[in-house]
């Protein structure tokens, strides 16, 4: 909860990947708040009040996961909404001629997105969700100590650059500093 709040303010991409990881941690603990309290919350050096807040946060996420039927897989609507916000910003930036650097990064990334979507088969994910899925997959591979091929690393490096730029622009936009030249 405390980490999520900080990441949300600083870097929307890191926040989203963190929240996907939280969803998986909740699933790994069988949506059981007692297991989460023991296996996750207890690992933090928190005051009693902070522990209570964190447990309540996990309980609310568990409740949302049950109500939204993402117990076994999928993402909470609040996380899907982040992707939608990013997609709207992405579209607006691509339409604005002042963002040539962004357009260049996007078009450098696009072949990797197309390749990833082709490998996934019938994939209803949007381009940005495909990027985040790839980044999350890389995170999981690293956590498991698995090797990442040179080609995959090349693709992920480009995707990371692109998503980092989008994340930077998201922060600027949330501060009303992105489209500053518009009347």
* 2-13 per-position pLDDT tens digit: 788 888 889 999
pLDDT given for residue 3 in this prediction? 82
pLDDT given for residue 183 in this prediction? 45
Going from the C-alpha of 20 to that of each of 25, 81, 129, 140, the distances in angstroms are 9, 13, 12, 11
pLDDT given for residue 181 in this prediction? 58
pLDDT given for residue 125 in this prediction? 85
Query: Which residue positions in the chain have pLDDT lower than 70?
Result: 122-123, 180-183
Cβ(31)–Cβ(65) below 8 Å: yes
Cα separation, 101 vs 98, whole angstroms: 9
Query: Could you tell me which of 110, 111, 168, 157 has the C-alpha nearest to residue 135?
Result: 157
Cβ(91)–Cβ(56) below 8 Å: no
Structure tokens at 1: 């909860």
């Amino acid at each position: 909860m405390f980490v999520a709040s900080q990441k949300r303010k600083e870097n929307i991409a890191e926040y989203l990947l963190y929240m996907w990881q939280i969803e998986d941690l909740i699933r790994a603990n069988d949506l059981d708040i007692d297991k989460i309290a023991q296996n996750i919350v207890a690992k933090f050096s928190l005051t009693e009040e902070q522990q209570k807040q964190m447990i309540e946060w996990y309980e609310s996420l568990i409740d949302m996961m049950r109500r939204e039927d993402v117990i076994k897989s999928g993402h909470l609507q609040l996380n899907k909404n982040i992707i939608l916000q990013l997609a709207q910003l992405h579209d607006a930036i691509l339409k604005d001629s002042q963002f040539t650097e962004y357009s260049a990064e996007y078009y450098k990334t696009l072949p990797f997105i197309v390749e990833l979507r082709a490998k996934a088969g019938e994939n209803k994910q949007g381009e940005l969700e495909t990027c985040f899925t790839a980044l999350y997959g890389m995170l999981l591979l690293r956590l498991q100590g698995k090797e990442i091929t040179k080609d995959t690393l090349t693709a992920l490096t480009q995707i990371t650059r692109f998503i980092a730029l989008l994340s930077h622009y998201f922060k600027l936009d949330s501060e009303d500093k992105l489209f500053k030249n518009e009347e």
